[in-house]
Structure 1
Amino acid sequence: MYIHICRLLKILLCILQDGESWKENNCTKGTCSAGKVITEHVPCEPVTIPICENQQPPVRVYDEAGCCFHYECKCVCSGWGDPHYVTFDGEYYSFQKNCTYVLVKEIQPKYNFRVIIDNENCDPSGTVTCAKALIVYYKNYKIILTQKRNPKTVNLVYVDDKQVFPTYSNKDFIVTSTAIELLLKIPEIEAVVMFKGLLFSIDLPFSRFHGNTEGQCGTCDNNRKNDCRLPNGDIDPSCSDMANHWRVPDKNKPYCEVPPSPTPIPTRTPTPEPCKPNICEILISKVFEKCHSVVPPTHFYEACKFDVCHMPNSTVGCSSLEAYAMMCAEAFVCVPWRSATHGQCDYKCPANKVYKPCGPTVVPTCNARYNEKYTQQCQAENANQDTGCLVTEGCFCPEGLTLFSSNSDICVSSCCTGPDGQPKKYGETWQSGCQQCSCDEATLSVQCKPVTCATQEPVTCTEEGEVLVTRTVDCCEKQICVFKFYCLQPGMEFSKSPCEICHCTDTQDPNSKLNEITCVIGDCFEECSEGYVYEEQPGQCCGTCKKISCVMEFPDSPPIIIESWSPPDDKCVMYECQKGSCGASSSM
């Protein structure tokens, strides 16, 4: 709005300020010329479209201002099946070894980025291998993308040897999953690593990694001639031979440290029956026709025939079809191909999800902020292509249902969330604190209101020492009777009577919600000598011994109670016991 108003003012004043120019936005400027506003785009260099040796269409890359662009070739390295590889620049080769190798690393460290592939035997014969895991090192992170294949295939992700669950993200990367594939994105360096078990790919921006990669994926520089680069920088004439030189030590594979045995002398074998890899013909059929002009299928077709003709089960060819479909999707051509295999390459999704050949790479959830953040990020990553976000095959929630959250596998019809973080159904009610909540179908959201409190009957305190107080019980104010000395806080001490010491406990009374009281009666010595009786003293904890008889005490003999008494040696003296208000006393 501000720009439009300013532009209008410039137009109105144009006659008075002929020749003045101003910046309308990052890419255009306006100039007053003879009473008219002339709009000019910032000058851009002439654009040439390169011919990419990997036969993939070049991508449009804009400058920082977003005004001018140039074209770059994509650097995508992929592998599939009994591993077949296509390097960044499109060199195709096969390599069947079950050790651990460098797929890609920087020649001159710049981003601290490298990818290791952990291969394993796919069948008991030991002649067929496939990728067990991709290990991505970035900055100080170690990210493992792998699968558990028995009894069913489950994607697994580990970050610094601790299992995490997609969608997982931090300030440096994000990992998503569609049940079929795992996708690691590193926005800062625009790197994307995909793993689907028998299929994987590494996508790097040409502008950041041009001429600075080596490993089994070769050098990203749009030149196939140097793709078979050895660790010492020399170029091997065969990429299949080069690949073995990128082996890295693996303590879990001691057999890889043993020098390979000499190649056995081939013996004459019977001529095999002709191989008919019918499943591979789908690659060059009308099923993929829309993609043929964008991504040539030749390498994938040859790899498919090799796998099918060397394995007893033709379904191994599915990985070649899957790899080609993935490359087509990367070029924004989605091909629903699995149905054409008549069940050979079907993918069985969990019971609560359905298979889609062209689903979103960012799966919408009940979390609107999550959707906005990652959808915008996805659109920004692909803004240069004017095609929005990429699509991918996977297992998704059925129509009308939404994925509850990025780290759950629950599809819900409503996006209500209870206090425990779990989904709630329409019409379901629950109490959260002092709020009564429900999943409201009209507003498609959680609606809460204060708990309704019942009217209380009048309360009268009948016990001696009780007082009426108002307390909040179960979110409602109630009048209750409590002893006048009630607990204010645990540990507090007070006296209910001179001889009774009480203290507050940590235990709460379920009715009054007040802390319970425990009291102890003080011990008093109530035994009195002969001629005395114990009497309580008002206001005192303990009583006293009151004299009620005259007691005569003699040395070396017990005291005696008397009414009258004369000493044996003086009969003229008589002692009599007199009782008064203060007790008994003797007089002559």
Structure 2
Amino acid sequence: ESPTTRTSTIGTTTTEPYCNGIWSPWFNENTPTIQNKGDSELLETIRYKLCPFSPYQINDIACEAVKFPQRPIKEPLESCRCNSNPPRECLETWKENCTMITCIKGDTFKLDQITCPTLIKPKCINNIEPVKVHTADGCCEKWECDCECEIWGDPHYSTFDGTWYDFFENCTYTLVEERVPKYNFSILLDNYFCFSFVKKSCPRGLIISYNGNVVHISTGGTYVLTVNGNNVNPPYNANDFIITKLGISTYISIPGIRTTITAYPNAFKIRVPEQYFLDNTQGQCGSCSHSPPQCIRKNGKAEPNDCCHRTAFDWRVQDSRKPYCQSAPTNVPCTPIPPPPTCKPEKTICDLIQSQPFKQCREKINLNKYFKTCTFDHCVINSTIDCTSLEAAASACASVGVCVDWRPFTNGICNYTCNHGFVYKPCQSKEDDQCKNATLIAGEALTPTEEGCFCPDGMLLSEDKSRCVAFCQNCRDQFGHPRKEGDAWEDANNPCISYICTEFGIVIRNMSCNQDESCPESDRVYLNRCCFACQLTQGECKVNKFNETIRRGYCEATFEATQCLGHCSSATRYDPKRHRMESDCQCCHEDKTKSMSVELQCKNGKITRVEYISIKSCKCKDCGNTFQNMINKYRKPKPKYRKPKPKYRKPKPKYKKAKPKTKT
């Protein structure tokens, strides 16, 4: 190609070759050849290579074809666009589906995959393990630090910025709220006096507000969980909240702001991301910030970090359930922190914090505060509330990436009880996978790891979330209708085939009748819609065999099943001695049985064994279920002879009546 350009001058004009309507020499930037017909030169490249000086404003560029010299092919600059939606100018670049796209011309685009920067794991100021999250466009990952606030015991506080203090009042307080409202997020704390013999409060519940929805959870005393005033049972996933019960703890997630709340009996942990809340929180949990720790009053005044036990009064809120709190003090002046109790308790479970179970964690963070709060609670109350300090210490260890399995060392004092079929796990990184509409749904990540009751490894939650199963059942009948576990139905076209929905899938029962087809219709006794038996002679009872096919998932086998068939005697007659009807009814029952097993051959080559009972002999026996037999069974027998009633005798007086004395 040999381009020529036309220019208009701006200001002082200087003569430049190829920019005044004359043809330039052959210009070969993109290595075009006659054979390479798809090749082209970029207009922008021509303009800046041949006419780089600013005094010229280029109006258009013309090129001559190799085969047709001196015949310019003109193309105005403003007409260079790509056939995209919306239309794009040539050389315009934009991002789409994690790809940088550059418009070349028409249907030609340049695609460059976004290159993510190398991740360098940071060290968070509060020592909490950083969390890997996606960038806003979802194309790359990045590390983020979070802030944590804990409340436990009677009660002890650890704020977002790492300040510790005790606060024993029993009103309702703002725990977390935004300084500048962005997400309509706040958490209120409901404290109450949990022991009648001492005025030390415990954290009873939280009122969590986000985006117009309100969750109320109470773990002190009676367990309460409501969403927008309605009682709910975990698991719950609606109204911007995901709530899961993990045994004695409840895990509440707000994915929209990557915030989690873990609720234990009389203890709570709140975790918020710096990504959304850096320098924008206030309340009894303090500020999520990188600034030096301070205690902030409700009016915004900053106090030293040893005054939080006094500034906490300022965050009281009105609670109609606690009219006595209306006169509670606020704006309480700072005073020195009162000394802890001076008792020297005997050996307690608090010592675990300074012993082997927490050894690895103590190498990363200082746990002395948890030991002191545990000792404080033991001296003041001396109860299982000691467990809350160990729970808080283990939770702090999980936040820095250390798992502590401490409960087995408490001699049963802090046991964690799970329902049948579930197992306790001290540090689980994700919720259980679960079945939903016969489809496996992956469990949500738990950040940080959480303790609780989970399914054993390799198992998942059932559809109703009540138990653990090996896989999701997908039972549907021949019409495509979903069936629940325990449902049984016949094949629409063959009454000898029936189906049962089990936890392993559909079990198919294929009944093959071993019957005498020569038996006349009048002598046939139909056992079901599929099979019949010839009427046997009086008192005859024997084993009847038939083939049955059982399928479980992709495994199946056919085996010889058995049943008792026969014609046993029965009669009803009048008993003149007892003056009533007497029934004698016998049924064809199993006499001898044997436990058997059958191997199911699976499509993957494996073999599954299933147990069943085979009948070896049958016998006529009392039915045991007739109406008269039931009456006879529960009727009290009448005595054969009655004892005569004792004759009534007038009791003799205890004292003799004195005879009246007469005077003579």
What SS does structure 1 have at the residue aligned with 2:303?
coil
Q: 1:73, 1:222 within 8 Å by CA — same for their partners in 2?
A: no
Q: Which residues in structure 2 correspond to 1:141-220 (within 5 Å)? A: 141-147=213-219, 149=221, 155-170=223-238, 172-220=240-288
1:490-547 CA-to-partner distances (Å, cap 9, x unmatched) read xxxxxxxxxxxxxxxxxxxxxxxxxxxxxxxxxxxxxxxxxxxxxxxxxxxxxxxxxx
Equivalent of 1:437 in 496, 499, 503: 499
2:450 is aligned to: 392
Q: 1:82, 1:128 within 8 Å by CA — same for their partners in 2?
A: yes
Task: Decide whether aligned partners of structure 1 residues 438 and 48 sit closer, same or farther in structure 2, where only a CA change above 3 A counts.
Answer: closer
Equivalent of 2:466 in 404, 409, 412: 409
2:389 is aligned to: 320
1:65-91 CA-to-partner distances (Å, cap 9, x unmatched) read 566665543211111111111111111
1:249 is aligned to: 318
Equivalent of 1:308 in 350, 359, 378: 378
1:232 is aligned to: 299
1:55 is aligned to: 127
Q: Which residues in structure 2 correspond to 1:169-568 (within 5 Å)? A: 169-170=237-238, 172-226=240-294, 228-237=295-304, 238-259=307-328, 273-276=343-346, 278-313=348-383, 315-359=384-428, 361-367=430-436, 371-372=440-441, 374-375=442-443, 378-379=444-445, 391-397=449-455, 402-405=460-463, 408-411=465-468, 416=473, 424=485, 429-430=488-489, 436-439=498-501, 444-446=504-506
Unpaired runs of 5+ in structure 1?
1-12, 30-38, 264-270, 383-388, 456-474, 477-588
Offset, 1:189: 1.0
For the residues of structure 2 that align with 1:187 and 1:370, how far apart are their CA atoms? 22
For the residues of structure 1 that align with 2:118 and 2:468, how far apart are their CA atoms? 50
1:73 is aligned to: 145
Q: 1:56, 1:74 within 8 Å by CA — same for their partners in 2?
A: yes
The alignment's TM-score, normalised by the length of structure 1, stands at 0.59
Q: 2:435, 2:472 within 8 Å by CA — same for their partners in 1?
A: yes
Equivalent position amino acid for 2:300 in 1: G
1:155-175 CA-to-partner distances (Å, cap 9, x unmatched) read 432001100111111252211
What SS does structure 2 have at the residue aligned with 1:218?
coil
1:134 is aligned to: 206
Equivalent position amino acid for 1:225 in 2: P
For the residues of structure 2 that align with 1:139 and 1:440, how far apart are their CA atoms? 42
1:481 is aligned to: none
Offset, 1:371: 4.5
For the residues of structure 2 that align with 1:416 and 1:67, how far apart are their CA atoms? 36
Offset, 1:285: 1.7
For the residues of structure 2 that align with 1:216 and 1:432, how far apart are their CA atoms? 65
Task: Decide whether aligned partners of structure 1 residues 100 and 61 sit closer, same or farther in structure 2, where only a CA change above 3 A counts.
Answer: same
Offset, 1:123: 0.8
Equivalent position amino acid for 1:63 in 2: T
The one of the two structures with greater contact order (alpha-carbon pairs below 8 A, sep at least 6) is 1
Q: 1:193, 1:202 within 8 Å by CA — same for their partners in 2?
A: yes
What SS does structure 2 have at the residue aligned with 1:195?
strand
Q: 1:361, 1:390 within 8 Å by CA — same for their partners in 2?
A: no
Unpaired runs of 5+ in structure 2?
1-35, 46-90, 102-111, 334-340, 518-528, 531-664
What SS does structure 1 have at the residue aligned with 2:127?
coil
For the residues of structure 2 that align with 1:413 and 1:338, how far apart are their CA atoms? 28
What SS does structure 2 have at the residue aligned with 1:225?
coil
What SS does structure 2 have at the residue aligned with 1:207?
helix
Percentage of identical aligned residues: 33
Aligned residue pairs, count? 412
1:375-404 CA-to-partner distances (Å, cap 9, x unmatched) read 3xx35xx8xxxxxx7542222345686532
What SS does structure 2 have at the residue aligned with 1:98?
coil
- Provide the aligned C-alpha RMSD in A: 4.6
Task: Decide whether aligned partners of structure 1 residues 422 and 318 sit closer, same or farther in structure 2, where only a CA change above 3 A counts.
Answer: farther
Equivalent position amino acid for 1:338 in 2: R
Q: 1:404, 1:423 within 8 Å by CA — same for their partners in 2?
A: no
The alignment's TM-score, normalised by the length of structure 2, stands at 0.53
Equivalent position amino acid for 1:211 in 2: D
1:581 is aligned to: none
Task: Decide whether aligned partners of structure 1 residues 318 and 48 sit closer, same or farther in structure 2, where only a CA change above 3 A counts.
Answer: closer
For the residues of structure 2 that align with 1:49 and 1:351, how far apart are their CA atoms? 42
Task: Decide whether aligned partners of structure 1 residues 107 and 309 sit closer, same or farther in structure 2, where only a CA change above 3 A counts.
Answer: same
For the residues of structure 1 that align with 2:260 and 2:136, how far apart are their CA atoms? 21
2:580 is aligned to: none
Equivalent position amino acid for 1:209 in 2: F
Higher-Rg structure is 1
Offset, 1:412: 5.0
